[in-house]
A and B are shown apart, each in its own frame.
Chain A
Amino acid sequence: MAEATDTAVREPMDPLPASKAPRAPARPQPNPLMLLFQGLASLRLTVVLLLLGSLLVFFGTLAQVDGGIWQIVSKYFRSYVVWIPFQIFNVFAAERSDVAGGFPFPGGWTIGFFLLVNLFSAHALRFRFRVGILLTHAGLVVLLLSEFVTGMWAIETKMNINEGSFTNYAYDTREAELAIVDASDPDNNHVVAIPQSLLAPGSVIQHEQLPFDIRVDEFYENSSLVRRQAGKEALATFGTGLTHDAKERSVITGTDPNQSVDIPAAYFTLRRKGSDTKLGTCMTSCQLDVPFREDWDTIGQKRIVDGKPYQLNLRYRRYYKPYDLHLIDFRFDRYQGTQIPKNYSSDVRLVNPSSNEDREIHIKMNHPLRYQGETFFQSSFTPNERGTILQVVNNPGWLMPYISCTMISLGLIIHFSQTLFKFLQRELAK
């Protein structure tokens, strides 16, 4: 690459002026700061950054053969520096083998940051009013920022609803929480939710609303439930753990985030508040939670403490909404005479008492529902085809790409059609 550009410059070619290059007009007494500024504003830097960007994207694509897409995204594209193992080039080899070593490379944030700096400096240093270029570059800034906003603040969750039923929360399969539900009040459940970050093995959880302390005996980031063989002693003294064990598994690195999720599981021991008196041990796993069951309303490890029933439930982190979504009907249309999916759609009813809303909405592929800053997409369905799974995305920057691409497309069209028009005018005049 470098050779190509260098030799090209040395060519004794026709006098096509390189005048707009920043280095062309030599200044008599360069100020060092000014030199740096010129460097940051130079088109050479642009070309280098584009080359690095291209390579990074290429490496990040190859790495996806073995790594999970989200892992790669955070390692390669949403990072400052990335260590690129030689192993990724193995896809071109005839036989698979393990290759050691690697090399460091600037990550997505770094390249993006310098592209922005380069762009702003260039426009500051050599400002010329050309609508097309300005629009294109302004749009590019919005686009880079939008990826930053998405990377930092977007939340992707899921929502399951059964036909004839409703849901008022979404869950995030990338994080778990321990919910302790006091269902003694028939009208309202009292829920205490402990985030995953507090669930380290050995730690003790105390909460003013709970008449007991909880000791975390074990916490597995990924696990599977197995029926215990006869004769093996149970760790748990009540609940599902009497018949099943949670078996630890390695964290999933699959390429498809929709199909494989980690299933956290944990063992907890309940103790009388402030003492070591054991009230019992239980096992609870996200395998008993929403994504894996259709009767997800009544689950949990029950224990009666001080005459009140409590349910302990390790579940995917829930985000409760101030409204209910009812599922009227889920449809899975197939192409005539085949099993090839043609369309998935959900007829839902949105009930929001706070705003007196009660309306029906048809959600289908490519036609999501946008509501209160969140977007609901038809994502999947329960195995019996009577429940829908919606992907709920909260991305504060979702509109930015739309604005950006309008700007860039307009900018490119204006700029290049001006170029083309001038050119054609001249050619045809001959």
Chain B
Amino acid sequence: MKTFERIFPWAILLIIMAYLVSTAARTTRNKSDFDLVAFGNLPVQTGGRIKPLDTLARNSLYAISHKAAFVEEIGEGDDLVEKKQPATRWFADMLFNEQRAAEHKVFRIVNDHVLGSLGLEPRKGFRYAYTEIAPDKLREFQQWARDVSQKEQMRQQGMKADITVDDAQASAFDSKLAAFSKALAVNQFPIARGNELTQGEFRVWMQRIFRESGNVPRIIPTAEEDADWSTIGTASFKAIGEKVKGDMAALEAVDDGTTKAATFVAEAYAATGDNSWINLLWKMRDAYRHGRPDEFNALVAQYHAQLGQDSAASPPRLFLESFMNGFQPFIQCIALTLITMILVVISWFGWRRPMLRAAMCLAIVTLIVQTTGLFARMYLEDRPFVFVTNLYSSAVFIGWVVVMVGLFLEFIFRNSVGLTVACVVSFLSLIVAHNLDVAGGGQDNMQVMQAVLDTNFWLATHVTIVTFGYAATFIAGFLGIIYIVLGVFTPVLDKDLSRTLGRMTYGVICAATMLSFIGTVLGGIWADQSWGRFWGWDPKENGALNIVMWNALILHARWGGMVRQRGIAALAVLGNIITTWSWFGTNMLGVGLHSYGKMDRAFFWMMIFMSTQLVIAGFGALWPYKSWLSYEALTQGPPKRRGGKRVSKLSPA
């Protein structure tokens, strides 16, 4: 038994490590003849940065399907097999084989009315192919979508407009159609839609690429840093322009059928050089369409080899980003914190030491995974020590800080409270992060920063410290919850534990006050540097100020003897409300709390969270002390260790 106790934590650690390593290995392994993993590592310039096609593919598919993978039906009739395919497979089809791409069942539609208007039947999985929608039904639907968007505009201008749930769902499917065309627009090969290239069609194609040129992801690299890349359209246009030399009559051979369009285009591309990007892509397309995986893979490899030499793209960055997309370190951490939580809970009932040891090991592994993930993001964004660039990363960062602080508290107090805080708060924070990412509907979560925000110094100092302050305030609030829940609902909160918890909360609040104050003031200095106003009283600034004032209030109330452990616990729980308000509430004010849709859901959850905190704080503050299940433990018996004198030393007054 003794040996088993000693081995147990290591065994858990080993299993988890094995799991992580195998997951990591799986994300880099290719599962089809065509090397889609290598294909996913090819670069594309979009949204102001260079990213792997893998990211674009996942985000685009996510916007349409709410999943970053899809089920492909291969074969027909009785031979039909369903195969789970990665987003890169779908995107390769969008880029090289548009007919097949339209047959993939990727549109997620759940609303009966939307389905009905499109002439579709509800089915298991709720995924539909573009080709399943009849053109006339689609036109009808688009009229509906236009009506809804008109109503949305009216509402934005403050007019009354009745937008039903069905309307909102129609609008959602309309955005999916838009996301689909946006992804398809990358495919600007001149003969993409049918194999003809008459002069008339050439003009249509030209008009199309000029119309789309602004927003289409650019796939053709340039050698200079920070320069604009080209789209397939512009590169093709240049190549064809070179070939016809301004003389449209050269297309006549195509018109009368002497030359096949595909041959004509291929010649134009070949003339730009055998190894030109556009020519490689063209050959890749050919190999992909005609099922020649070896040739395709060789071309992708050649493309990669050329990237390292003459392009602004950095192959290690592309590789790392695709790996992160697949491995999803912060999602793994959700699982890790959950397992840690289970181990901690078991430890409360028995087999304490080995369970806590194992939990400790897992918490450390979580911390390592989170740290690696955060620093990988920094490397990808090229922003050293900038942890937070948007709401998503702020939630991830809070999850990381909480584990760090929780481990520190555990190291000092060794009473499983620190571990509980680490896994529970981190778990919640990572869930919030995941939901923010999901709510983005396939948005890049490493988007570039708008002009005034584009300063690594202030992002690394002000934003990091303020968010650290949020995390600390949440930790204090959670310690408060532990105090109140243990006191009211269990008999285990004795004098000793009460005092320890009080101290932990107090210490964390001290840190929170300091961090949120310094962070807020740094924000003021940033504002003074960028528009000459140290303090502008805008909602986000005010939210931060509220946190500082609340923490200062708790400290002064304690120093003045107005509250002790119980009071601090209740006040700290209320601090959760204030921090949530500052973190999310103030953002929602900007867009108006009444706007329906994504924010509505976030607003709903925020209110739920705030209400629970209010209830808990209410129990802590108002539930008659004598009715606390821990009343006896708190009032009777001498403290096991330590006198009051020592504690008082902690108080600064």
- The answer to whether A and B assemble together is yes
Binding site for B on A (CB under 8 A): 1, 3-5, 7-21, 24, 42-44, 46-47, 50-51, 53-54, 57-58, 60-62, 64-65, 69, 72-73, 77, 91-92, 96, 130, 133, 146-147, 150, 156, 334-344, 365-368, 375, 377, 379, 391, 393, 395, 398, 401-402, 404-405, 408-409, 412-413, 415-416, 419-420, 422-424, 426-427
A–B complex contacts, Cβ < 8 Å, 10 sampled: A7-B567, A10-B625, A11-B625, A16-B564, A54-B550, A54-B553, A133-B652, A398-B534, A405-B521, A424-B412
Any chain A CB within 8 A of the CB of B513? Answer: yes
CA distance A57 to B625 in the complex (A): 33
Residue of A nearest to B531 (CB): A377
Cα distance, A379 to B455, chains bound together (Å): 16
B538 contacts A69, CB within 8 Å? yes
Task: Give A405's nearest chain B residue, CB to CB.
Answer: B521
Contact A366 B450 (CB under 8 A): no
Contact with B562, one of A5, A146, A368, A416 (Cβ below 8 angstroms)? A5
Q: Which of B525, B567, B593 contacts A4 (CB 8 A)?
A: B567
Q: Are B510 and A409 in contact (CB under 8 A)?
A: no
Report yes or no: B517 in contact with A412, Cβ–Cβ below 8 A: yes
Give B contacts to A, CB under 8 Å: 45-50, 214, 218, 226-229, 412, 448, 450-452, 454-455, 458, 495, 498-499, 503, 507, 510-511, 513-514, 517-518, 521-522, 524-526, 528-539, 542-543, 545-546, 549-550, 552-553, 556-557, 559-568, 570-571, 574, 578, 581, 586, 589, 592-594, 607, 617, 620-622, 625, 634-635, 639, 643-644, 646-653
Please tell me if the beta carbons of A21 and B560 are within 8 angstroms of each other in the complex.
yes
* Shortest beta-carbon distance from B238 to chain A in Å: 17
Cβ-neighbour of A5 out of B532, B537, B567 (below 8 A): B567
Question: Which residues of chain A are within 8 angstroms of B543 by Cβ–Cβ distance?
Answer: 61
Q: How far is the CB of B277 from chain A (nearest CB, A)?
A: 15
A47 touches B560 (CB 8 A): yes
Known: A50-B549, A341-B451. Contact between A408 and B564, CB under 8 A? no
Nearest Cβ in chain A — how far from B501, in angstroms?
A: 13
- Taken together as a complex, chains A and B put the C-alpha atoms of A301 and B454 apart, in Å, by 45
State whether A340 touches B48 (Cβ < 8 A).
Answer: yes
A419→B553 contact, CB < 8 A: no
CB pair B518–A335 under 8 Å, yes or no, is no
- Which B residues touch A408, using CB under 8 A? 517-518, 521
| Known contacts A47-B556, A73-B537, A91-B593; A16/B648 CB under 8 A | yes
CB of B525 within 8 A of CB of A405, answer yes
Q: Are A365's CB and B650's CB within 8 A?
A: no
Q: In the complex, how many angstroms separate the beta carbon of B551 from the nearest chain A beta carbon?
A: 10
Contact B586 A61 (CB under 8 A): yes
Most buried by B among A3, A47, A147: A47
Say whether, besides A4-B567, A5-B557, A342 and B562 are in contact (CB < 8 Å): no
15 A-B pairs besides A18-B560, A91-B592 with CB distance below 8 A are A4-B571, A4-B617, A9-B561, A15-B643, A16-B644, A47-B560, A50-B553, A335-B48, A336-B229, A340-B448, A366-B458, A393-B533, A398-B532, A420-B510, A423-B650
B511 touches A416 (CB 8 A): yes
Q: Are B586 and A337 in contact (CB under 8 A)?
A: no
B652 close to A341 (CB less than 8 A): no
Least Cβ distance of B542 to chain A in Å? 4
Whether the Cβ atoms of A11 and B566 lie closer than 8 Å is yes
Please give me the residue from chain A that is nearest to B522 by CB atom: A405
B517/A43 in contact, CB under 8 A: no
Residues in A with CB closer than 8 Å to B503 are: 423
Known contacts A5-B563, A342-B448: A61-B589 contact under CB 8 Å: yes
Q: Are A54 and B562 in contact (CB under 8 A)?
A: no
Contact indicator B45/A337 (Cβ below 8 Å): yes
Q: Which residues of A contact B514 (CB under 8 A)?
A: 409, 412-413, 416
One of B525, B561, B571 near A402 (C-beta < 8 A): B525
Within 8 Å CB of B639, what residues of A?
14
Contact status of A338 and B553, CB under 8 A, knowing A11-B625, A64-B539: no
Q: Which of B553, B607, B653 contacts A47 (CB 8 A)?
A: B553
Which listed residue (B495, B521, B525, B589) contacts A14, Cβ 8 A? B495
Q: Is the CB of B518 within 8 A of A366?
A: no
Please give the distance in Å from A147's CB to the nearest CB on chain B. Answer: 6
Expressed in whole angstroms, the Cα–Cα distance for A393 and B531 within the complex equals 8
CB distance A365 to B563 under 8 Å?
no
Q: Choose one: B524, B529, B643; the contact of A405 (CB below 8 Å).
A: B524
- Let me know if B562 and A47 touch, CB within 8 A: yes
Give bound CA distance, A388 to B416, whole Å.
60
- Contact between A24 and B561, CB atoms less than 8 A apart: yes
A415 lies within 8 A of B652 (CB): yes
What is the bound-complex CA distance between A365 and B453, given in angstroms? 9
Name the CB-closest residue of A to B563: A8
B228 and A336 form a contact (CB under 8 A)? yes
**Chain B residues closer than 8 Å to A43, beta-carbon distance:** 556-557, 559-560, 562
Give complex CA distance A424, B413 in Å.
Answer: 11
Q: Find chain A residues with CB under 8 A from B454 CB.
A: 342-343, 365
With A12-B635, A14-B639 as known contacts, state yes or no: A337 contacts B412, CB within 8 Å: no
> CA separation between A408 and B635, bound complex, in Å?
40
Instruction: Contact check, A58 vs B227: say whether CB atoms are below 8 A apart.
Output: no
Lowest 4 CB-CB distances: which A-B pairs, in order?
A18-B561, A8-B567, A335-B48, A43-B560
Which A residue sits closest to B620, measured CB to CB? A4
By a CB distance below 8 angstroms, the chain B residues around A21 are 560-562
- The answer to whether B451 and A92 have CB atoms under 8 Å apart is no
- Determine the residue in chain B with the shortest Cβ distance to A13: B564
Chain B nearest CB: distance from A72 CB in Å? Answer: 7
Say whether, besides A51-B553, A343-B451, A8 and B562 are in contact (CB < 8 Å). yes
* Contact call B532/A375, Cβ cutoff below 8 A: yes
Instruction: Collect the chain B residues with CB atoms within 8 Å of residue A44's CB.
Output: 560, 562
- With both chains docked as a complex, state the minimum distance between the C-beta of A2 and any C-beta of chain B, in angstroms: 9
- Which A residues touch B524, using CB under 8 A? 401, 405
Q: Which A residues lie within 8 Å of B552 (CB)?
A: 50
Q: A4 vs B570: C-alpha distance in the bound complex, in angstroms?
A: 7
By the criterion CB–CB under 8 Å, are B47 and A338 in contact?
A: yes
Q: Is the CB of A365 within 8 A of B553?
A: no
Q: What are the residues of chain A within 8 A of B561 when measuring CB–CB?
A: 9, 17-21, 24
Interface centre among A19, A21, A336, by most B CB within 10 Å? A336
Q: Smallest distance from the beta carbon of B227 to chain A beta carbons, Å?
A: 7
Residue from A150, A342, A404 having most chain B Cβ neighbours under 10 A? A342
